[in-house]
Structure 1
């Protein structure tokens, strides 16, 4: 695509079971979706490229086109000693790891068995079919 543009959208991210995983209306802060910079999957971009201010659009994407498939290589078994002694480690807890260039990589604790902690570094929504409910607030 030759022209880059961004959409500010209120967005609900809805899981297969109908529950809302995230809603920008709850925070009052619309999401910025950049078209043409390869930050979005081609399937996602194809759904929003024609949208204008005031448009509402609902669409469902397979996991591969939304947040990707769950990658088993991103699940790590780590020793309990790698975590702060006072950290509460139980399934569902989000932990943060230092990434390249000072970035932070979130991980979700999946299991704790003795001194072994299983951490999943996949995006929390990876592996899920996702329905996006968008309402365009502004085109930049």
Structure 2
């Protein structure tokens, strides 16, 4: 079986470009901006079943647009991911304004982005949900490469 005829299925590595849009058609994300396609592995648990089902059967060169509801995209916002932080935890030179995205250092050295939802007195509300959580989205994909991984 040649690579060109391989259809996306279980245990495939897929390289694709995608354009991600909100329901109103406004752009949310695109791999084309920096010309860096995304790489994903079918069945590794990083994608929802419905997202994978939309990719199944596609081959190199195929283009497809599909809608995903919030549960199948970035999930619904989780209230446990919203924290109230004391203003004193921010440095004096960090402007804290509603709508800002600030990277917070994690114990392992990685950074987690949080959106400032409100500032009231000494309390700053920070939302660590994915910015697109709760949104129904349209994915426009173009398949660049498909490889069968060894089991």
Indicate the TM-score class for this superposition, using the shorter chain for normalisation. over 0.9
TM-align CA RMSD: 1.5
What is the deviation of 1:91?
1.6
The structure that has the greater radius of gyration is 2
Report the alpha carbon displacement of residue 114 of structure 1 after superposing the two structures with TM: 2.0
Give TM-score, length-normalised by structure 2.
0.86
Q: Gapped runs of 5+ residues in structure 1? A: none
Question: Structure 1, residues 87-121: CA drift from partner, whole Å, max 9, x if none?
Answer: 11112211122335333221111111222111000
Q: TM-score, normalised by structure 1?
A: 0.92
Q: Does 1:122 align with 2:129?
A: yes
* Matched pairs, number: 139
In structure 1, how many angstroms separate the alpha carbons of the residues matched to 2:12 and 2:66?
20
1:63-96 alpha-carbon deviations (Å, 9 max, x no partner): 0110000111111111111112211111221112
Sort the Cα spacing of 1:27 and 1:46 in 2 relative to 1 into closer, same or farther, 3 A.
Answer: same
Instruction: Extract unaligned runs of 5+ from structure 2.
Output: 1-8
Q: In the alignment, which of 111, 116, 119 is matched to residue 118 of structure 2? A: 111
